Structure 1
Amino acid sequence: MKIALMMENSQANKNDGILTELEYVAKPLGHNVFNVGMNNANDHYLTYIHLGIMAGLLLNAKAVDFVFTGCGTGQGAMMASNAHAGVFCGYCIDPSDAFLFNQVNNGNALALPFAKGFGWGAELNARYIFEKALTGERGAGYPLDRKEPQVKNANILTKLKSDLIGTTYVKSLENLDQNLVKEAVGGERFQACLFEHGQDQEIINYVKSLLH
């Protein structure tokens, strides 16, 4: 599985530590991690609005399979991500959240708070969140006898979101302020992840058109 990690400007100083914990869990499982921003205060500037655009592009282009995103509370990153077609982002503050999101909702992104409640042992909490999010049978249901309605509802939500958007993902982005999208895609590590691993040429061509 290909996994993207993205954090906004206020939490850039925590990126190294969070990346270490994510790679500690992901690499032995055979997953590849792409740290697409921000990794320090001087890195390409990102707000949680930018993170939502980035998550949407990477997931819809199939450049990655899963996104871990976050901001101070995690709430803004979650809402910005869920504004995009094809992104199903949960909110996670402890390992049981990650486990239940995996089992019940089977989404493709998780937003974490990197300031609120981020105290003693925070790196261990992050590690255990990553473990629960990346292991186990996705969509297996919890409790197990609830699997059928949970899978049914997840499928309904996927179709509902697609029907509400009602257009291609690129066309939905073209309705936004193009300067905002251009800001979101300006990071070199993000571009490398999208261009080298993306499978949707329309999305790749659209992003490239913004950079010239």
Structure 2
Amino acid sequence: MKISIGNDHAGTEYKFAILKHLEAKGYVVTNYGTDSNESVDYPDFVHPVAQDVESKKADFGIIICGSGNGANMTANKHQGVRSALCWTKEIVALARQHNNANILSIPSRFTALPQAIEMVDTFFETAFEGGRHENRVNKIAVSC
């Protein structure tokens, strides 16, 4: 499985831990995030992740910023991207099961690192249920 990951300065520590965790599991991970704690603009690191998911260059994406909100809003500007801002593994599971989320947005300032790792595992272990949710998900990308 191919994963793209991006982060701003608030997510650097989490990104390195998640990257190491995923590579140990055999995932191929492309790192678009900053490797520094110096202040940067999150869209510069989130757009490449969303573009990879949108173009199918990556199967899934992970984005990390302080609140998760800015990164999530940025990713969801891309067609075909369904980024979910999550802070518990239960929300992660529902985002995959019901919304077929393909990017996980993690709020580093509101989750502990072990919790974030658990969320990542849940994200990749949980399948989309389809069924009644399929029609709803198909309506997400409809442009007005």
Per the normalisation by structure 1, the TM-score is 0.60
| 1:72 aligned residue (66, 72, 75) | 66
Distance 1:22 1:132, change over 3 A: farther
* Aligned residue identity for 2:138: N
* Aligned partners of 1:17 and 1:123 also within 8 Å: yes
Distance 1:22 1:92, change over 3 A: farther
The residue matched to 1:37 in structure 2 has which SS? coil
In structure 1, the partner of 2:84 is: 90
Alpha-carbon deviation of 1:152?
A: 1.5
Alpha-carbon deviation of 1:62?
A: 2.2
Aligned counterparts, 1:1-212, within 5 A: 1-9=1-9, 11=10, 14-25=11-22, 27-28=24-25, 30-41=26-37, 46-115=40-109, 117-118=110-111, 122-136=112-126, 138-140=127-129, 147-158=130-141, 160=142, 163-164=143-144
Structure 1 CA distance, aligned partners of 2:21 and 2:15? 10
Distance 1:88 1:151, change over 3 A: same
Structure 1 CA distance, aligned partners of 2:78 and 2:18? 27
Larger Rg: 1
* Ranges in structure 2 where 5+ consecutive residues have no aligned partner: none
Structure 1 CA distance, aligned partners of 2:46 and 2:33? 12
Alpha-carbon deviation of 1:123?
A: 1.6
Structure 2 CA distance, aligned partners of 1:40 and 1:19? 11
Q: Deviations over 1:173-212 (max 9, x none)?
A: xxxxxxxxxxxxxxxxxxxxxxxxxxxxxxxxxxxxxxxx
Which structure carries more strand by proportion?
A: 2
Distance 1:17 1:154, change over 3 A: closer
* Aligned partners of 1:5 and 1:37 also within 8 Å: yes
* Aligned partners of 1:5 and 1:68 also within 8 Å: yes
Distance 1:54 1:31, change over 3 A: same
Which structure carries more helix by proportion?
A: 1
* Aligned partners of 2:52 and 2:58 also within 8 Å: yes
Structure 2 CA distance, aligned partners of 1:104 and 1:35? 28
Per the normalisation by structure 2, the TM-score is 0.85
What is the aligned length? Answer: 144
